[in-house]
Chains A and B, each alone.
Chain A
Amino acid sequence: MAFVNVRNLTYAYPLTKQPALQDINLQIEEGEFVALIGANGAGKSTLCYALAGFVPHFFKGELQGEVEADGKLSSQSTLSEWTLNVGLTFQNPFNQISGAKYTVFEEIAFGLENIGVPREEIKVRVEEALALTDIRELARRSPYSLSGGQQQRVALTSILVMRPKLLVLDEPTSQMDPVGAKEVFSAVRKLAQEGMTVVMAEHKTEWIARFADRVVALKEGRILMQGAPREVLTSDLLFENGFGVSRYTSAAREARRRGLWTKKSLPVSLDEAAEGFGAIR
């Protein structure tokens, strides 16, 4: 049975009529890395909140259907029980700093203190997490003195240290430079290989194509299509629905329209695009 089961999920925020999510059905296997794509307002963040239990425990509103992870239903758990297994980071890193701690090391330890992990184990786990996201040199700095990209890494590390079974990331690289973003994708891929289930809402399709196992495309609160990254990201359906896919795919699509692109599939990365365009004589 799938590790995550979303069944007929429809949800509308309080005081709104238009549902943010409509009839979502999604199964995710343990250790799978699923990327959510879609325009702003497509429902990516709301789906992340639903997976992390904040819909309906934090955001009230109208909810139908259910979210199940690791054999438990989110509606039948308390939020604090649910967050022991499911970790969430979201887009704005500044607001994810607890404000209760004076150094990055203490900040990352905050969650472990809350769930009663013994002192010596906290130190070991924080060191491991700092190494995993490569921010050991920030350990003694104040979280507020960091750049947006660095704060995003701290936010991610603060969740990773809790060792959730399901990791939900809502645009975790939005303020990072390309090198930093790639490193995060690569670290997340490694975690998935070690058995952590990952759901990541992102716009960076080139990295999604390279690192994710599956892509789920959302439009106006519904799943438009899902499948292997290459299949989804190069599909005509996505293009027709105005999804902003990678410029390599768009350029090759235009070349194909003009009869220049002869390869069977469209590229999703720079290397594939270079190879395909190099073949045009």
Chain B
Amino acid sequence: MSDRLSFHVQRDSFLHRLNPLTKLTLAFALVVVAFVLPFYWTPIFVLFAVIVPLSVSGKIFREFSWAALRLILPAVGFLFVMQALFQPIGEQVVFKFYFLDATTESVAYAFRNAARIFVMISAFTLFLLSTHPSELMSDLTRRGLPSQFSYVVISTLQIIPQMQAKANAIIAAQRSRGLDTESSFLKRAGALGPLVGPLVFGSLVEVEERAIAIEARGFTSKRAKTSLYEIADSKFESVLRWSLVALVVLSIGLNLWHS
């Protein structure tokens, strides 16, 4: 069993060394640009001219393409088919499936939307692959994000796999006492109660104990927190972030002017 829930892949690359906030800003900026710039091929350009080269130079191309092909493409492909068939625009039919028509316009519309969604998910995949969650949260907490918020995010990432392990243990325990979890749907649905009950109530007790444990270690202390790790940030990255913000503003402006 994996003992953590994180997409992060440890590599030594310039992308990994960037400050987490810079990468987060970049991901947001790419998404906004792909969505609002009023040029049809923008999302495709962003994908192949920015995201793919970044994944190569970040030494995570293999993991990135695996995620793109196995996770993003099927979801986006489904979206494309649905929009192409159901979008009631255009007249020139290029494909007919019973009563469903795909027109040149609906296909073009669906393609642009699918490409935008593809950019959105892949930009954040790139971000998650190259950024350690605790580094991100330490950096954001240092910049003023409430520590309670970052605690909830990080502990959820870590506790989900533990909950899965516990659920498996409860399933094994209940099955050894004769609970049927493999036959008909109805029987399996009925078996949910004895499985979910102990998991939920057990977790509630755990929450109380964990609260005591972190409280005993000064979690609510009023003193300014420090961090074990120094997270690199530079003047250059600050300039880069503000440039990305400017790019976003410019794209939105261009969109408004164009429309």
Chain A residues packing against B (C-beta within 8 Å)? 52, 54, 58, 79-80, 83-84, 87-90, 92, 94-102, 105-106, 109-119, 122-123, 142, 144-145, 155, 158-159, 162
Contact = CB atoms under 8 A, between A and B. Distances in A.
Given A119-B228, A144-B3, A144-B158, A100 B134 contact: yes
Nearest to B210: A95
A277 B97 CA distance: 94
B219 interface: yes
Contacts of A95: 206, 209-210, 213
Contacts of B150: 100
A62 to B, nearest CB: 19
B216 interface: yes
B56 interface: no
A123 B209 contact: no
B78 to A, nearest CB: 35
Contact of B218 (A54, A94, A101, A111): A111
A96 B230 CA distance: 26
B226 A119 contact: yes
B226 A122 contact: yes
Interface in B187-242: 206, 209-230
Contact of B217 (A83, A119, A142, A144): A83
Interface of B: 3-4, 132, 134, 150-151, 154-155, 158-159, 161-162, 206, 209-230
Given A88-B212, A96-B213, A100-B154, A106 B228 contact: yes
B220 A79 contact: yes
A101 B151 CA distance: 9
- With most chain A CB atoms within 10 A of its CB, the pick from B3, B213, B229 is B213
Contact of A83 (B4, B218, B226, B229): B218
B217 A162 contact: yes
A110 B215 CA distance: 11
B218 A114 contact: yes
Contacts of B223: 114-116
A99 B155 contact: yes
B212 A80 contact: no
Given A87-B216, A115-B218, 10 more contacts: A80-B221, A95-B210, A96-B210, A99-B158, A100-B151, A115-B221, A115-B223, A116-B225, A122-B226, A162-B218
Contact of A144 (B162, B215, B221, B224): B162
B247 to A, nearest CB: 34
A96 B215 contact: no
A60 B218 CA distance: 20
A84 B218 contact: yes
A157 to B, nearest CB: 11
- With most chain A CB atoms within 10 A of its CB, the pick from B3, B159, B211, B218 is B218
A79 B213 CA distance: 12
B105 to A, nearest CB: 50
Given A54-B212, A144-B162, A98 B217 contact: yes
19 contacts: A58-B215, A80-B222, A84-B221, A96-B209, A97-B213, A100-B150, A100-B151, A100-B214, A110-B214, A112-B226, A114-B218, A116-B221, A116-B226, A119-B226, A122-B228, A142-B3, A144-B162, A155-B213, A158-B217
